[in-house]
Amino acid sequence: MRTKRIDQPHAVASPSPIAGRRALTRVGLAVLLLAAVLVATGCVGGERPKNVIFLIGDGMGVAHVTAAKVAFGELEMERFPYGGICGTFPDGSFVTDSAASGTALATGFKTVNGAISVTPEDAVLKTALEYAEENGMATGLVVTCSITHATPAVFAAHIDDRGKNHEIAEQLTVSGVDVLFGGGAGYFTPTEAGGLRTDGQDLLSDMEERLVVVRDADEFRAMGEVDAAAFLHAKAHPGTAGDRPVSLAELSERAIEILSRDGDGFFLMIEGSQIDWAGHENDKQWLLDEMADFDEAVGVALDFAERDGRTLVVMTADHETGGLTVDQGSVPDDWLGPVDWSSESHTAAMVPVLSYGPGSAAIGGIIDNTDIGAFLIDAVGGEPRE
């Protein structure tokens, strides 16, 4: 079924057929024809969600979830009914970066480290967000890093090098993304106005033609009823969990409120970006702070999905960071002892994938990050029909 993304030349890998195969198995041979019709009409496991919320804990391995569970006792992410683990290997290397793994999650295709939703040969890979947009859904990106950083960029930009923040900002400006919350205002603002752009372009002004741009937490909270908004609350990357003016949960709640005004449904990606940076720094307290911030946003997404009844929520990570080992603590006391780290970089360890809502049972077991990309594209009705 999902053998080839027909509009993507030079694609290096095919999205996996796992999710669809499971759906067919469950439905049974007697209704194979019906299942084929369901798949052909883009239904995930036979059920098509109205909205999709995709949460990424950057660098969040199973041990990171373990650490948070031990320290906090109970996590919002425990509310997910389905789960599995996911491989993150990129094309051409063993350990992935956030660009290659993000591309796999956003498009269903593997690429090389550093590439933002393009193949190693630079061919554009269409993303779940772009398929959603094409189908009339509202779209949003909510992160705790610069909005031009690798993970948000892979959903709405296409470029060979994740370091090209200024070009990514230009692409985000002309994208149709309705909600952009994160840092990175400097990449949209000329140096004369205190930004980082030397080409004189004021992209935030350009953006104001299609969405409301707010510039600080007070403006953000006073925004009122809007259909589209950008809130870039730091020149480059925002501060750490305790230092950010607005929590990821508050940003997510507002994003959902804005996007859910669209009667055609929405696709929203929410990233706990700095879980990864705490891992790089081997900093246990920072990790727990970021995990708490991210987990609260998971709760917001699940609260909405429970109320709404037509929302698919998927949570995963792009890779593990830090080679975290948790071997000292007490579950009855909610006490996490000293932890060990075997790396200051990313590792190849598999990461968790959890899901809730219409079609969620179709993604699970031991899968690959490209399976998640293919699944999300299916969920927004974007799979090319065959």
User: Which of 76, 133, 160, 276 is the binder for Zn ion (CB under 5 A)?
Assistant: 276
- What is the number of residues in the chain? 386
Question: Is residue 311 a contact partner of residue 52, using CB atoms and an 8 Å limit?
Answer: yes
User: Which of 318, 368, 371, 383 is the binder for Zn ion (CB under 5 A)?
Assistant: 318
Nearer to Zn ion (CB atom), residue 98 or residue 144: 98
Nearer to Zn ion (CB atom), residue 126 or residue 162: 162
Stretch that binds Zn ion, among 36-44, 190-198, 241-249, 315-323 (CB under 5 A): 315-323
In the annotation, is 98 catalytic? yes
Question: Is residue 109 a contact partner of residue 125, using CB atoms and an 8 Å limit?
Answer: yes
Q: At its nearest, how many Å lie between Zn ion and the CB of residue 317?
A: 8
Q: At its nearest, how many Å lie between Zn ion and the CB of residue 48?
A: 30
Q: At its nearest, how many Å lie between Zn ion and the CB of residue 56?
A: 8
Nearer to Zn ion (CB atom), residue 98 or residue 360: 98
- Number of residues forming the site for Zn ion (CB under 5 A): 4
Identify which of 4, 42, 76, 118 has the alpha carbon closest to the alpha carbon of residue 375: 42
User: 235-270 as b/e, with b when 16 or more CB fall inside 10 Å?
Assistant: bbbbebbeebbbbbbbbbbbbbebbbebeebbbbbb
Catalytic residue among 14, 16, 93, 98: 98
Q: At its nearest, how many Å lie between Zn ion and the CB of residue 88?
A: 9
Q: At its nearest, how many Å lie between Zn ion and the CB of residue 295?
A: 18
C-alpha span between 282 and 360 (Å, rounded)? 33
178 touches Zn ion (CB under 5 A): no
Nearer to Zn ion (CB atom), residue 98 or residue 316: 98
Pairing label, strands 179-183, 229-232: parallel
Stretch that binds Zn ion, among 171-179, 191-199, 227-235, 275-283 (CB under 5 A): 275-283
C-alpha span between 307 and 302 (Å, rounded)? 9
Nearer to Zn ion (CB atom), residue 178 or residue 320: 320
Backbone dihedral region of 115: left (phi > 0), alpha (psi from -120 to 50 degrees) or beta?
beta
| Helix or strand (DSSP H, E) at 324 | strand 324-325
Backbone dihedral region of 132: left (phi > 0), alpha (psi from -120 to 50 degrees) or beta?
alpha
Q: At its nearest, how many Å lie between Zn ion and the CB of residue 65?
A: 15
Nearer to Zn ion (CB atom), residue 250 or residue 318: 318
Which residue reads 């696709």 in tokens?
267
Stretch that binds Zn ion, among 108-116, 271-279, 308-316, 355-363 (CB under 5 A): 271-279
User: Which of 5, 16, 55, 58 is the binder for Zn ion (CB under 5 A)?
Assistant: 58
The secondary structure of residue 329, as a DSSP letter, is E
Nearer to Zn ion (CB atom), residue 51 or residue 370: 370
Identify which of 170, 162, 209, 166 has the alpha carbon closest to the alpha carbon of residue 191: 166
Q: At its nearest, how many Å lie between Zn ion and the CB of residue 149?
A: 9
**For residues 64-123, which are near Zn ion according to CB under 5 A?**
98
The side-by-side arrangement of strands in the sheet containing 365-368 is 212-214, 229-232, 179-183, 138-146, 266-272, 51-57, 311-316, 351-356, 82-87, 365-368
Binding site residues, Zn ion, CB under 5 A? 58, 98, 276, 318
Catalytic residue numbers read 98
